[in-house]
Amino acid sequence: MRKASIVSIGNELLSGQTTDTNATYLSDRLLSISIPVVSVYTIGDDKDAIIRAFNLACSEADVVIATGGLGPTDDDLTRQAFAEFLGVELQLQDELLQKIREFFACRDLQMPDKNKIQAYIPAGAEAIANNLGTAPGIMVRVGAVREPPLLIALPGVPSEMKQMFEESVLARLQRFAGGQAVAVRKLKCFGAGESAIAEMLGDMMQRGRNPLINCTVGYGVVTLHIIAAAKDNEKARQMAENDEKSLRNILGKLVYGTGEQTLAEVVGEKLARTNKTLAVAESCTGGTLAKLLTDIPGASRYFMYGWVVYSNRAKVSELGVPADFIDKYGAVSEQVARAMAEEARRKAGTDFAIAITGIAGPAGGSELKPVGLVYVSVDSNSGCETKRYNFSHDRDFIRLRAAQTALNMLRLQLDID
Amino acid sequence: MRKASIVSIGNELLSGQTTDTNATYLSDRLLSISIPVVSVYTIGDDKDAIIRAFNLACSEADVVIATGGLGPTDDDLTRQAFAEFLGVELQLQDELLQKIREFFACRDLQMPDKNKIQAYIPAGAEAIANNLGTAPGIMVRVGAVREPPLLIALPGVPSEMKQMFEESVLARLQRFAGGQAVAVRKLKCFGAGESAIAEMLGDMMQRGRNPLINCTVGYGVVTLHIIAAAKDNEKARQMAENDEKSLRNILGKLVYGTGEQTLAEVVGEKLARTNKTLAVAESCTGGTLAKLLTDIPGASRYFMYGWVVYSNRAKVSELGVPADFIDKYGAVSEQVARAMAEEARRKAGTDFAIAITGIAGPAGGSELKPVGLVYVSVDSNSGCETKRYNFSHDRDFIRLRAAQTALNMLRLQLDID
Nearest to B75 among A14, A207, A311 (CB): A207
Percent above pLDDT 90 for chain A: 65
**Residue A388 lies in domain:** 263-416
Per residue in B338-377, pLDDT (tens digit) is: 999 999 999 999 999 999 999 998 988 898 899 999 999 9
**Yes or no, beta carbons of A305 and B304 under 8 Å apart:** no
Pairing assessment for the beta strands A181-190 and A221-230 based on DSSP bridges: antiparallel
Q: Where are the alpha helices (DSSP H) in A202-333?
A: 233-251, 263-273, 288-294, 312-319, 323-329
Contact B306 A286 (CB under 8 A): yes
Q: Using CA atoms, how far apart are residues B404 and B295, in angstroms rounded to an integer? A: 13
Torsion sign across C-alpha atoms B344, A323, A304, B298: positive
Are A79 and A173 contained in the same domain?
A: yes
Of A258, A285, A319, which residue sits at a domain end? A258
Find residue B377's DSSP bridge partners: B355, B386
Cross-chain residue pair A288–B291, CB shorter than 8 Å: yes
Q: Are residues A65 and A158 in the same domain?
A: yes
Q: Among residues A283, A249, A298, A276, which one has the least CA distance to residue A411? A: A276
In A, minimum Cα distance to B9 occurs at A39
What whole-number percentage of chain B has pLDDT above 70?
97
pLDDT the model gives residue B146: 44
pLDDT recorded at residue A193: 82
Asked if B191 and B389 touch (Cβ cutoff 8 Å), the reply is no
B196 contacts on A by Cβ (under 8 Å): none
| Phi–psi pair at A64, nearest 5 degrees | -120, 125
List beta partners, residue A87: none
Cis peptide leading into A211, omega within 30 of 0?
A: yes
The span from the CA of B84 to the CA of B126, in Å, is 16
Residues in chain A: 417
Mean pLDDT across A53-82: 92
Q: Is the pLDDT of residue A417 over 60?
A: no
Cα B234 to Cα B240: distance, rounded to the nearest angstrom: 10
Q: Is the pLDDT of residue A347 over 90?
A: yes
pLDDT band at B72; cut points 50, 70, 90: confident
Question: Over the stretch A215-269, which tens digit does the pLDDT of each residue have?
Answer: 777 788 988 989 888 888 899 899 999 999 999 999 999 999 998 899 999 999 9
At residue B182, does pLDDT exceed 80?
Answer: no
pLDDT value, residue B145: 39
Residue pair B36/A45 in contact by the 8 Å Cβ criterion: no
Contacts of B366 (CB under 8 A, 6+ apart): none
- Residue B375 distance to chain A (closest CA, Å): 18
pLDDT for the residue numbered B17: 82
Inter-chain CB proximity B24 and A20 less than 8 Å: yes
Asked if residue A346 and residue A279 are part of one domain, the reply reads yes
Q: Which chain A residue has its CA at the smallest distance from B34's CA?
A: A15
Contacts of B162 (CB under 8 A, 6+ apart): B25
Instruction: Assess contact for A8 and A22: CB atoms under 8 A.
Output: yes
Of the residues B258, B286, B308, which one is the last residue of a structural domain? B258
B293 vs A286: CB contact, 8 Å cut-off?
A: yes
Same domain, yes or no: A10 and A153: yes
* A395 min Cα distance to partner chain B (Å): 8
Q: What is the pLDDT of residue A244?
A: 97
- Give the whole-angstrom CA distance, residue A216 versus residue A144: 42
Instruction: Write down the mean pLDDT value for chain B.
Output: 91
pLDDT in tens, A385-412: 999 999 887 899 899 999 999 999 999 9
Distant-in-sequence, close-in-space partners of A178: CB < 8 Å, separation ≥ 6: A2
Same domain, A209 and A301: no
Question: What pLDDT score does B110 carry?
Answer: 80
Which of A344-353, A359-368, B394-403 reaches the highest mean pLDDT? A344-353
Domain co-membership, B303 together with B248: no
Question: Is residue A128 domain-shared with residue A55, that is, in the same domain?
Answer: yes
Q: Give the model's pLDDT for residue B260.
A: 85
A256-266, pLDDT tens digit by residue?
Answer: 999 889 999 99
A290 closest CB neighbour out of B40, B287, B297? B287
Inspect the interface and report whether the beta carbons of A43 and B39 lie closer than 8 Å: yes
Please answer yes or no on whether A21 and B19 come within 8 Å at the CB atom.
yes
Q: What percent of chain B has pLDDT over 90?
A: 65
Residue A389 shares a structural domain with residue A241: no
Distance from CA of A287 to the nearest CA of B (A): 4
Q: How confident is the model at residue B326 (pLDDT cuts 50, 70, 90)?
A: very high
Distances (CA, A) of A6 to A25, A60, A66: 11, 11, 6
Q: What CATH number has the domain bearing residue A301?
A: 3.90.950.20
pLDDT tens per residue, range B16-60: 888 999 999 999 889 878 889 999 999 999 999 999 999 999 999
Query: Across chain A, what does the average pLDDT equal?
Result: 91
Count of domains observed in chain A: 3
Q: What is the pLDDT of residue B148?
A: 63
What is residue A6's three-state secondary structure?
Answer: strand
Last residue of a domain, one of B144, B177, B210: B177
Q: Is residue A60 classed as helix, strand or coil in its secondary structure?
A: helix
Residue A378: what pLDDT? Answer: 98
Q: Are A144 and A195 members of one domain?
A: no
Supply φ then ψ for residue B397, to 5 degrees: -65, -45
What residues of chain A lie within 8 A of the CB of B19, using their CB?
A: 19-21, 23-24
Mean predicted confidence (pLDDT) in B64-78: 90
CA B196 to chain centre: 24
Same structural domain, B25 and B170: yes
B323, B329, B332, B335 alpha-carbon torsion, rounded to 10°: -80
Comparing B196 with B43, which gets the higher pLDDT? Answer: B43
Q: Cα(B345)–Cα(B305) distance, rounded to whole angstroms?
A: 9
Chain A nearest C-alpha distance from B214 (Å): 9
Cβ of A207 and B74 within 8 Å?
Answer: yes
Q: How far apart are CA B254 and CA B412, in angstroms?
A: 10
Q: How far from the centroid of its chain's Cα atoms is residue A101's Cα?
A: 35
Which CATH number does the domain housing residue A213 bear? 3.30.70.2860
Determine contact, residues A355/A340, Cβ cutoff 8 Å: yes
* pLDDT tens string A139-173: 887 764 345 689 999 999 898 899 899 888 887 88
Residue B179 has a pLDDT of 59
- Asked if B66 and B54 count as a contact pair (C-beta separation under 8 A), the reply is yes
Query: Between A and B, how many CB-CB pairs are < 8 A?
Result: 242
Distance from CA of A286 to the nearest CA of B (A): 5
Residue B402 above 90 pLDDT? yes
CATH code of the domain covering residue A118: 3.40.980.10
- A72 vs B190: which has the higher pLDDT: B190
Residues B113 and B172 in one domain: yes
Whether residues B191 and B214 share a domain: the answer is yes
Residue B272, min C-alpha distance to chain A (Å): 15
* B70-73 long-range contacts, CB within 8 A, separation 24+: B70/B118, B70/B135, B70/B136, B70/B137, B70/B138, B70/B153, B70/B154, B70/B155, B70/B156, B71/B118, B71/B135, B71/B155, B71/B156, B72/B112, B72/B114, B72/B115, B72/B117, B72/B118, B72/B134, B72/B135, B73/A207, B73/B114
Look at A38 and B298 and tell me if their CB atoms are within 8 Å.
no
Q: What is the pLDDT of residues B81-116, one digit of tens each?
A: 999 999 999 999 999 999 888 888 877 778 888 889
CA distances from B120 to A136, B53, B86 (A): 51, 22, 15
The span from the CA of A70 to the CA of A67, in Å, is 8
3-state secondary structure of A217: strand
Predicted confidence (pLDDT) per residue in A271-294, tens digit: 999 999 999 999 999 999 999 999
Distances A364 to A2, A371, B54, B306, B365 between C-alpha atoms, Å: 56, 7, 47, 21, 44
Whole-prediction pTM value?
A: 0.77
| pLDDT tens by residue, B109-142 | 788 888 899 999 999 899 998 887 888 899 887 7
